[in-house]
Structure 1
Amino acid sequence: MRKVWVGILMFWAGLAQAEEVVIAALGDSLTQGFGLTQAEGFVPQLETWIQSRDASVRLINAGVSGDTTAGGLARVAWTLQPEVDGLIVALGGNDLLRGIDPNEVRKNMEGIMRAAQTAQVPVLLIGMQASNNFGTEYKADFDRVFPELAKSYDAAFLPSFFAGLSDGEGPQDPAALRQWFQADGIHPNADGVSLIVEAVGPKLEGLIAKIDAVGE
């Protein structure tokens, strides 16, 4: 009789494990959680948010501080391990800081999206918007990369990583948003991450719906 119960428990444990959705977050220091404790970072807070809604989801932190879209492209094949069901992509901030050609950014991002498509892994693409520091033409070229790729690859999409910090699609007045950032003015503090997660969370639910559809 004991063997029967052990078998039943193993069956249900295996079933629960099989139903777990694994999502990797490919990004830079914003994803990695620069300057924050492990629990305060973007990935742990997002995982807590989605699990609080009774979703059996595990997030993998594939954020590397200082990474560009080229670095993300170099790592995407390794990130897309067989256990990964979905991919969050949040890159581009360091490309902006370095003034990298938007055409190069597009090429790298398209490589990432294509790799996910080949692996049949649905994507949540989180955009990044340029300031006018490099001119209006650069901004226009850069800003259109992410929505166009999201449309081309049928990805879930959030226009800006910082969407949760303002009423629009991204921060408009840095001075007004200072309370949500660390001293460097670049990386969000724990409270800022919490607001960011509130905006990303519903998009993550959309990604999970896509994953479930693929599995049917």
Structure 2
Amino acid sequence: MIKMKYLMLQLTAVLVLAGCGNAQNNNRLEAGEDATAAAETSEAPPKETETKTILFFGNSLTAGYGLEPDQAFPALIQQRIDSLDLPYKVINAGVSGETTAGGKARIDWLLKQPVDIFVLELGANDGLRGISTEETYNNLKAIIEKVRSKNPEVEILLAGMQIPPSMGQKYTQQFREVYTRLAEEEQVVLIPFLLEGVAGDRDLNQGDGIHPTEEGHKILAENVWTVLEPVLQEEAAS
């Protein structure tokens, strides 16, 4: 009888120990699963940030006439963007001698690619040729409408331009108002005067007195960046 009780006590002890072992094994399995899940989460590759496009569409000022491509203000904007590690690539679509009419005819081809931010810099050649300010206004408006039609969410910046008073005070005033009028009516972001701080300064312009030097383009880049940076910050926050 005593021997039977002893055997039963041993059996009970074995079962208790087995139960503890199973519980420990289960705990280890659960802990292992949690650790594996955590490792998989931490090792999961980060999602790639989509690179957006900034298209600079203009004339010889955008093209960087007389300079190396990396000295023109759009390239300097790209350098600033890269230094801040922002997900934007700049495309320089400047063509020397371009008028607003030429730009209107050319824009459709460029809109085959998606555009997130569009910087419109045209009109100076219209002014130098004395083209009707109403024609300049209509051409610029048509370009803006085409860009929006193709890219409804696009942000548009308009580079304001002024011309010397040699064309007459009335024409000069009307020309300046083309840009302020468009900015208000079309709800685009206005760069008040692209050549601010450069126009008329011999040290900042090439021999023709029209096209900025390398140092002049640094100032143009700053004029653009002052207006562009808040747009980029707003895009990043949205």
Same fold, TM-score > 0.5, yes or no:
yes
Question: For the aligned residues, what is the CA RMSD?
Answer: 2.0
Mapped pair 1:115 → 2:139: no
- Bigger CA drift: 73-82 or 139-148? 73-82
2:204 aligned with 1:180: yes
Aligned to 1:106: 137
Ranked by relative contact order (alpha carbons within 8 Å, sequence separation 6 or more), the top structure is: 1
Which one of 216, 220, 223 corresponds to residue 196 of structure 1?
Answer: 220
Alignment partner of 1:88 is 2:88: no
- The runs of 4+ residues in structure 1 deviating greater than 4 Å are 209-213
Q: Residues 58-88 of structure 1, C-alpha deviation per residue, up to 9 Å, x if partnerless?
A: 1001101100011111122222234311100
**Aligned: 1:206 with 2:237:** no
Q: 2:62 aligns with which of 23, 31, 47?
A: 31
Query: Structure 2: how far apart are the matches of 1:185 and 1:50?
Result: 30
1:164-199 deviations in Å (ceiling 9; x for gaps): 43xxxxx4xx2xx11111111111111110111112
Map 1:1-216; keep pairs closer than 5 Å: 12=47, 15-16=48-49, 18=50, 20-118=51-149, 119-120=151-152, 121-165=154-198, 171=199, 174=200, 177-209=201-233, 211-212=235-236, 216=238
Query: Where do 5+ consecutive residues of structure 1 fail to align?
Result: 166-170
Q: Which amino acid aligns with 1:73?
A: K
Q: Which has the higher helix share?
A: 2
Match for 1:69: what amino acid? Answer: T
The alignment's TM-score, normalised by the length of structure 1, stands at 0.83
Given that residues 38 and 44 in structure 1 are in contact (C-alpha distance below 8 angstroms), is that contact kept between their aligned partners in structure 2? yes
Name the stretch that deviates more: 29-38 or 78-87. Answer: 78-87
Question: Higher Cα Rg: structure 1 or 2?
Answer: 2
Aligned length: 195
Uncovered stretches (5+) of structure 2, i.e. residues with no partner: 1-39
